Amino acid sequence: MKNKLRNFIFEELIFVADPKQFSDEDNLLEAGLDSMGIMRLIMFIEDNYGITLPDTEIDPDNVQTLHALEQWILKHKNI
């Protein structure tokens, strides 16, 4: 899951010189993920994982790192 998210984020939303150096705990927001990118990311997640992420949960804590994104997705896959 993280590899699929990582590939989408670094191919479509954020430019970093070496995405492989970006850890699961590095801050995506500080790296350049903006509000439009977050919306595109949520649509990507919903389309690819067959879940709905509630608007009320769109919070920096849920999108700040790859690890946080994975936990958010897993929370809704299990509902």
Q: What is the CATH number of the domain that holds 66?
A: 1.10.1200.10
In a domain, 35, yes or no: yes
The predicted pLDDT at position 79 comes to 62
Tokens standing for residue 36: 């439009």
The predicted pLDDT at position 16 comes to 85
The predicted pLDDT at position 47 comes to 96
State how many domains the chain has: 1
Q: Which residues of the chain have pLDDT under 50?
A: none
The predicted pLDDT at position 78 comes to 74
Q: Which residues of 42-67 are buried (b: 16+ CB within 10 A; e: fewer)?
A: bebbeeebebebeeeeeeeebbbbbe
The DSSP code sequence of the chain is: -HHHHHHHIIIII---S-GGG--TTS-HHHHT--HHHHHHHHHHHHHHH-----GGG--HHHHSSHHHHHHHHHHHH--
The predicted pLDDT at position 49 comes to 92
**Domain of 37, in residue numbers:** 2-8+26-77
